[in-house]
Chain A
Amino acid sequence: AQKITQTQPGMFVQEKEAVTLDCTYDTSDPSYGLFWYKQPSSGEMIFLIYQGSYDQQNATEGRYSLNFQKARKSANLVISASQLGDSAMYFCAMREGGFTGNQFYFGTGTSLTVIP
C-alpha cells in the first residue's frame, strides 16, 4: 500500500484565492511527522510546513496551513491568497518514528498553477 497518496495531479487556482492540496497517508506507527515541500521549475525542494502526529493544533506558516485530520489520516495543505510565485509542484511526505524513522515517504506530487 502507498504510504502517501496525492490524488490531484494538477490544480488551478485564481490569483488571490485559497487552494487546498490533498494528502492522505497510511501508517500503523502512532508517532510520525508530516511535511509539505514545494518544488518550483528550477528544481529545488523547499520545505514548507511540518505537522506532528501528537500535535493538537493544525500547523501554520505564513500563508500555508495544514488541515490535519488524524482519524481520516489526511494532511491537506491550504495556501491562502495565492500568488503567481506559488505555481510549482507540491509534495507531501511522512517520516515515521521509532528506529524506522530514517526514511521519508513521498507522494507523487500535485502541480499547482496560479492563474492571473
Chain B
Amino acid sequence: SQTIHQWPATLVQPVGSPLSLECTVEGTSNPNLYWYRQAAGRGLQLLFYSVGIGQISSEVPQNLSASRPQDRQFILSSKKLLLSDSGFYLCAWSAQGKVFPLHFGNGTRLTVT
C-alpha cells in the first residue's frame, strides 16, 4: 500500500533562517505531489504542485520554493523565513486522474519567531 512520510512534525525557526521540509511517498510511481499551507483555523492554500521530476508549478509568489529531485520526493525550501511563513504545512500525493483523492502526510507545524 502507499504511504506518505513528512518531516519534521514540528519546527521552530528564527526569522531569516533557512527552511527545508521533506516529503516522500512509497508504494506508487509518478505521483502528483503537492505542498499546502494552512493558517490557524483557516482553509488550505496550495503552494506548489508537481506532475513529474523537475516539474514544479507555483501557485503563490512568495519566498518559498519547491523541488522534486526524485520521483517520490518533494522538498519545500526557503532561504530566509518570514514571520508570515508560520503555519501548518501539508504534503500530499495523488494519482493522475479526476477519480483519485489527495492523500496527505501528517503535516509540519512551523513557528517562525
Q: Which residues of A pack against B, CB within 8 Å?
A: 31-33, 35, 37, 43-45, 47, 50, 52, 91, 93, 95-97, 101-104, 106-109
Q: Are B101 and A50 in contact (CB under 8 A)?
A: yes
Question: What chain A residues lie within 8 Å of B109 (beta carbons)?
Answer: 43
The verdict on B44 contacting chain A, using a C-beta distance below 8 Å, is yes
Tally chain B residues at the interface, Cβ within 8 Å.
Answer: 25
Encode contact with A along B88-102: 1 for CB under 8 Å, 0 otherwise: 101010101111111
Of chain B, the residue at the smallest CB distance from A94 is B98
Given A47-B102, A102-B96, 14 new contacts (CB under 8 A): A35-B101, A43-B88, A43-B109, A47-B101, A50-B101, A91-B43, A91-B44, A93-B102, A95-B98, A102-B49, A102-B57, A103-B46, A103-B49, A104-B34
Q: Is the CB of B32 closer than 8 A to any CB of chain A?
A: yes
Q: Are B107 and A44 in contact (CB under 8 A)?
A: yes
**Which B residues touch A45, using CB under 8 A?**
90, 92, 102, 104, 107
Known contacts being A43-B88, A43-B109, A45-B90, is A96 close to B46, with CB within 8 Å?
no
Q: A33-B98, A50-B99 are in contact. Are A44 and B43 (CB under 8 A)?
A: no
Interface status of B112 (Cβ within 8 A of chain A): no
In the bound complex, what is the Cα–Cα distance between A95 and B34 (angstroms)?
A: 14
Q: Complex: how many Å from CA A11 to CA B51?
A: 37
Q: Measured between C-beta atoms, what is the minimum distance from A77 to chain B in Å?
A: 14
Residues of A within 8 A of B107 (CB): 43-45
Subset of 6 A-B contacts with CB under 8 Å: A43-B109, A50-B101, A91-B43, A95-B94, A101-B96, A104-B46
Q: How far is the CB of A111 from the nearest CB of chain B, in Å?
A: 8
Closest 4 CB pairs of A and B: A45-B104, A108-B43, A97-B98, A33-B98
A96–B98 CB distance below 8 A: yes
Alpha-carbon distance between A108 and B32 when the two chains are bound, in angstroms: 23
Task: Give the chain A neighbours of B99 by CB distance below 8 A.
Answer: 33, 50, 52
